[in-house]
Chain A
Amino acid sequence: MKNFILFLALLVSATSCFAQSQRRNISIVGSSTVYPFAALVGEYFTRTTGNLSPHIESTGSGSGFKRFCAGSGLQYPDITNASRLMTSEERATCLANGVTQIIRMKIGRDGIVLATSRAMPKLNLTLQDIYLALAMQIPDPEKPQRLIANPYSRWQQINSALPNVAIHVYGPPPTSGTRDAFDSLVMEKGATTFPLLRKMKKENPAAFKQAANRMREDGRWIDAGENDSIIVQKLKTNPNACGIFGFSFLKQNEENLQAAALNGYFPDSANIADGKYPASRSLFLYVKKQNSSMVSGLPAYLKEFISQRASGNRGYLVRRGMIPIPDREQRRNSEIVKSMQSK
């Protein structure tokens, strides 16, 4: 019994010892699109510098910002990956919680693809086609002044050039950064091709967001969760279905999957890098500069991330499906990291 009490006392004191003042590993959260790249860099970083591996959680961009902005102590993440920019609300939260020194680094570009199985004919879609296929409500084709429930069940009904195949699309849930980007890059652009919605956007932005981003709920759009590989599996087994996910997943599964062209452009490195492919976006790292002195290896990790062998035009990240950014922006990144290291 005495031993037991002693043990408990020891445990309590040990517990307080574990409250940290220095951390040996970098803590990274954020976008599931950037996650595989961050992990790959982490691996090279660990092997070459001998540092402890970073701890990388794939939480989605939104949750990543939330965690990142919660405070500046060691129990909060040092880096959040994002597939979109930080919003002004998120920045305000950060400032309110004492996260004042944030460095944003653009590390690459990514495309959101609408992929199908290779068994399906190649799709060539406009943004309007996609909007008409997926939105909950669309302008009435007869009386374009009002919205009606989406009547389409086959691609051909939308556009006679499209194949006569049932509409069936798996996509990311609203919490995902990929979904945010899809909404703003594809759905909203497609919606504004109609005068009714263009007017709405000017007069009532909230109602417009609702109309453009609300996906249909009759089973033709399916929220597939953050797990992109499940979508890939679904497409392999269901040749008529489409899936929405990041370009790198397409790259990993090119054997079985093909991408649809949007507004005439197929997603490939060149089209995504220069933005011709409409559903392309930039990928970012947000770094908490305040933590760089308390966490060993933080500048070294960033240095590895932007190095030529990683993000260069023939780097390992690029082989994994990340689209490199132009040299000018790469040089800017090296300057940022240099300034961090000198401190």
Chain B
Amino acid sequence: MEREKMSLLTPSTALRRRYLHDRLFLLAGRLAAIASFSTIGLIFLAILYTSLPAFTQSCIKLPIHFEETAFSDENLALADYDMLVAQALARIIPGVTDPGEKEDLMGMMSPGAAWRLQQMVGSNPKRIGTVEQLWLPASADIDMLRKGKLDRTTPEQRRRLSKRQLKWYDQLNAEGRIKRHFNRVFFTAPNSTEAELAGIYGAVKGSLLTMFITLVLSFPLGAGTAIYLQEFAPRNRLTTTITVTINNLAAVPPILYGLLGLAVFINFFHLPRATPLVAGMVLSLMTFPSIIMASRNALAAVPRSVCDAALALGASRMQSITHHILPAAMPGILTGTLLGLAQAFGECAPLLMLGMVAFVGNIPAGITDPATVLPMQIYLWADNSGQGFPEKTAAAIVIMMLFLVIVNTMVLWLRRKFENSHPHTS
């Protein structure tokens, strides 16, 4: 049988079918990529959009008279700072006498206004006797109104702001006494029950302290174990068992580490609950198997020729490892460590068991102070139905993602560095 020649110009049906399959596959792939990217993008944009109001805070400019009569007590903390705020309000909105009306007026300011004054006087007692025009935080309701999140048209009895308050708001606004400021408090304050005073810094510092403990414990342990297992340990049944166990440990659900930490560190060793110390210890247990695995891979990837060269020059086994293998593997080990830390950073489950889902109203000063961590803070704020907290939640998520982006950038950078300094491994 003579085989028919394939035309170069008109493809055969079989070929056409082949091309159709190719095109369908390509199309499916593109659709999948678009779908996943747009979903992630949408979620991210939605969170970012929700978080935006949290980065500003409405403030009201008040003429505060630090009158000496208000500071009769030796202890400056006992002075009635609320009264100073009330007097200042009365100065710009005169003629309010009814107690209910006065309460409404005071309700326009955040309790943080008085605390701010207390702080200012505490840091500089010379203020007493002076008069200052100060921007002080407005209450969450005023803040929401300013940000357009409160509907003025809802009937008064179920509106969060009364008619009077709206009138005063308009008056202050016309006088230019209400302004949105960059919300510095959010980045410097600990958690609070008032949305306008709640800050992320307490949780960020708690997270950083926890990560510090995790790093200090899991990095030397993990890297040390990896070096021993990879470079020194004999290959026998025992080391194989250890290796398999470590690999399995990396797959243990994190909550179990929390239970372990609760039983061992808190109930047996009586370490203080909810502290970065205990949290870091538990998280290091969780991360160190993955650090071992990453480190072993990094060590195994270092070309033996470099090790041989060192040995042939008369270096000892230890020297060839510390001088050559370890520096070459270090970016890989660090990458593994950072990825492990990033995972620990976002971990919630084990910390639930350690009492970290809690209100902590100050910034932890050290590793033995009660603290909370970023993911826990997000969880707590998401649970809070108060005004302004959904925005805080979104903002906390943005901060958390920022941290993760930083870590991942570092990982990328380390990997690039690794590839540059060891071209013969790639």
Contact = CB atoms under 8 A, between A and B. Distances in A.
Binding partners A and B: yes
Contact of A47 (B118, B217, B385): B118
Nearest to A4: B220
B192 interface: yes
A274 interface: no
A308 interface: no
B220 A25 contact: no
B357 A58 contact: yes
Interface in A29-58: 35-36, 38-40, 42-44, 46-50, 52-58
A35 to B, nearest CB: 7
A258 B193 CA distance: 24
A254 B160 contact: yes
Given A42-B359, A314-B103, A20 B190 contact: no
A252 B271 contact: no
B347 interface: no
B182 interface: no
Given A4-B220, A20-B270, A42 B361 contact: yes
B357 A232 contact: no
Given A227-B383, A255-B159, A39 B193 contact: yes
A53 B385 contact: no
A75 interface: yes
Contacts, number: 108
Contacts of A48: 77-78, 118
A316 interface: yes
Contact of B269 (A19, A25, A227): A19
Contact of B369 (A16, A52, A258): A52
A118 B360 contact: no
A118 B362 contact: no
Interface in A12-29: 15-16, 18-20, 23-25, 27
A305 B101 CA distance: 25
B361 A54 contact: yes
Interface string A104-132: 00000000000000100000000000000
B362 A249 contact: no
A69 to B, nearest CB: 15
Given A43-B192, A253-B385, A18 B358 contact: no
A42 to B, nearest CB: 5
Contacts of A90: none
Interface of A: 4, 7, 11, 15-16, 18-20, 23-25, 27, 35-36, 38-40, 42-44, 46-50, 52-58, 73-75, 118, 227-229, 232, 249, 252-255, 258, 314, 316, 319
- 6 smallest beta-carbon distances between A and B, as pairs: A53-B361, A229-B385, A55-B370, A39-B359, A56-B359, A53-B362
Given A4-B220, A229-B385, 4 more contacts: A39-B361, A53-B370, A55-B358, A75-B272
